[in-house]
A and B are shown apart, each in its own frame.
Chain A
Amino acid sequence: MEERKIVVPGEIIVEGESFLPGDFVRKEGNYILANKYGLAEIEGRLVKIIPLSGVYLPRKGNIIIGRVTSINYRGWLIDFDGHYNGFLSLNEVPKFINKGELRDYLDYGEVVYAKIIEVEGSSTELSLKFKGLGKLEGGQLISINSFKVPRLIGKEGSMISLIKELTKTKIIVGQNGVVWVKGEKIEDEIKAKKIIKFIEENSFVSGLTDNVKKFAEKLEEENE
């Protein structure tokens, strides 16, 4: 694989008939052009861009973490750091709820771990009717760029289990870039938060796992 380089919109990434445009690039004549600011990656014939910034784009099937911002008689409006709020319908929770009792199940400001079941225009439909989903109680929320979520999770969840091990906390990562952290002590949560922010900033520096370990040791020393 070639070394990744930063490209700007409209920049020619490669020239050649045989290349195929992937995410955030387009083909014009013989050129593959960037449509977004980010890191260009060429894998065989496929050319794509890993964005360095930008708002989360909801996709069907994504599991996200959001917060209740509004309640109406049909369900809850969930803010998940997208460009528009998502909607969790009364029919999409695993329990029967009487009208007027919505606040007893999920109140304003409470945090949910939900799945996107439909994206149409500006409306994003959410559901809790899958295994492992539901309300997240206590803990803290951390927002990172959604394009850096794969780095935070690591290969087969290696990075996230490393952080859990180092900080003795429970962590859930939403694909929208919102991370929920809960530890027995508040210090553990703060430590996890610092490590997550470190990964976000250094996500494209090689040897990330070793750097994270060193960073955690440094935090440990500072505490003592």
Chain B
Amino acid sequence: MNKESSYKKRSDGREFNEIRPIKAKVGIVPSADGSALFETGKTRAIAVVRGPRTLHPQHMQDPLKGILRVNYQMMAFSVWDRIKPGISRRSLEINKVIEWALSEIVDLTEFPGSVVDVLIQIPQADAGTRVAGLNAAVMALAQAGVPMKEMLSAVAAGKIDKTLVIDVNKEEEDYEEGEGSTDIPLCFGSFSKKIYLLQLDGKISIENFKEILKMGQKASEKIYKIQVEALKNPGKEVRG
């Protein structure tokens, strides 16, 4: 911990590198090809996968491989203030970054002209919804039997004033003293350890950045273990 930082203790009593309690469950929507729930603290994400199935309109089809379509949405009541449902600039951005991360691992060359739909809903939000959504989406894709290179585990890292933290919650995200709060969503591959998603809005020094990557990597391994356990026991809620 940085001694000059004004953020000395986390508001919910966690260690700086500690993630919130996780709940994961696979197979929550029986009619879908794949579905999963992923919860960290008060943030809850549900992902549903349908497909591969024929893509319409036909002009969008790729004759060489299937395509992936991600739809991320926060429910109207997911935050304290009502959020307007539907497409927003923010949800479009999140659709794109999740789609880019997932497209790297799925292999749809066997399904030309088809589409895999990934629908992510956030019934309850307390920061880190894009990483929770991504974690749920990967589990749902695996359960749907989509060919994949590896799994992904994402974690919302951040810098609160000068302190580096893992799995930021809403209260920390709104911290305004000193340098304020910087959000760094990270996503790692389970086998290759490659980074599939990294966003950074704000300032961070190179040393701090290297440190936060290490912290994120460790946290993602913990998340991966829970994802695997949930997939190996479909229908059972796994806590960690």
Contacts and interface: CB of A to CB of B under 8 A. Distances in A.
A17 B221 CA distance: 27
B191 A10 contact: yes
A9 interface: yes
B189 A121 contact: no
Contacts of A85: 54
B99 to A, nearest CB: 18
B103 interface: no
A38 B232 CA distance: 9
B114 A83 contact: yes
A26 B52 CA distance: 22
Interface stretch (B124-132, B138-146, B157-165, B166-174): B138-146
A98 interface: no
A57 B33 CA distance: 15
Contact of B63 (A9, A11, A122): A122
B142 A37 contact: yes
A53 B145 contact: yes
B57 to A, nearest CB: 15
B51 to A, nearest CB: 7
Nearest to A24: B147
Given A33-B191, A121-B112, A55 B151 contact: no
Contacts of A37: 142-143, 145, 231
A6 B232 contact: yes
Interface string A14-28: 000000000010001
Contacts of B191: 10-12, 28, 33
A9 B149 contact: yes
Chain A at the B interface: SS class? loop
A122 B149 CA distance: 22
Interface in A122-137: 122
A203 interface: no
Interface residues of B, number: 34
A51 interface: yes
A51 B148 CA distance: 12
Contact of B151 (A6, A8, A51, A84): A8
Contact of A9 (B54, B113, B142): B142
A54 interface: yes
Contacts of B66: 83
Interface in B39-91: 51-54, 61, 63-64, 66
Nearest to A55: B52
* Chain A interface bracket (under 10, 10 to 19, 20 to 34, 35 or more): 20 to 34
A84 B114 contact: yes
Contacts of B64: 121
B148 A55 contact: no
Nearest to B34: A53
Contacts, number: 85
Query: Chain B CB within 10 Å — which of A37, A85, A122 has the most?
Result: A37
A52 interface: yes
A193 interface: no
A35 B190 CA distance: 13
A83 B112 CA distance: 8
B117 interface: no
B148 A10 contact: yes
B150 A10 contact: yes
Nearest to A122: B113
A10 B111 CA distance: 20
A69 B222 CA distance: 48
B228 interface: yes
A28 B191 CA distance: 11
Contacts of B54: 83-85
B111 to A, nearest CB: 5
10 contacts: A8-B151, A8-B231, A9-B148, A9-B149, A9-B151, A10-B149, A11-B228, A37-B231, A54-B144, A84-B114
Interface of A: 6, 8-12, 24, 28, 33, 35-38, 51-55, 57, 83-85, 121-122
**Which 8 pairs show the lowest CB-CB distances between chains A and B?**
A54-B145, A10-B150, A122-B113, A53-B145, A9-B148, A83-B114, A83-B52, A10-B191
Given A54-B33, A55-B33, 12 more contacts: A6-B231, A6-B232, A12-B191, A28-B191, A35-B149, A36-B145, A36-B146, A36-B147, A36-B148, A83-B51, A83-B114, A121-B63
